[in-house]
Amino acid sequence: MRMRMMLALLLATAAIGPAAAQRSDNERGGVQTETQARHAGTDDGLIWNVIGLFGLLGLLGFKREHSEDSYHPSPIE
pLDDT score recorded for residue 6: 92
Which residues are CB-contacts of 36 (< 8 A; sequence separation ≥ 6)?
Answer: 25
Q: Distance between CA atoms of 38 and 61, rounded to whole angstroms? A: 33
* pLDDT in single tens digits along all 77 residues of the chain: 889 999 998 888 887 866 655 565 556 677 888 888 878 876 767 888 899 899 998 888 887 766 665 566 666 65
Q: Distance between CA atoms of 13 and 32, rounded to whole angstroms? A: 29
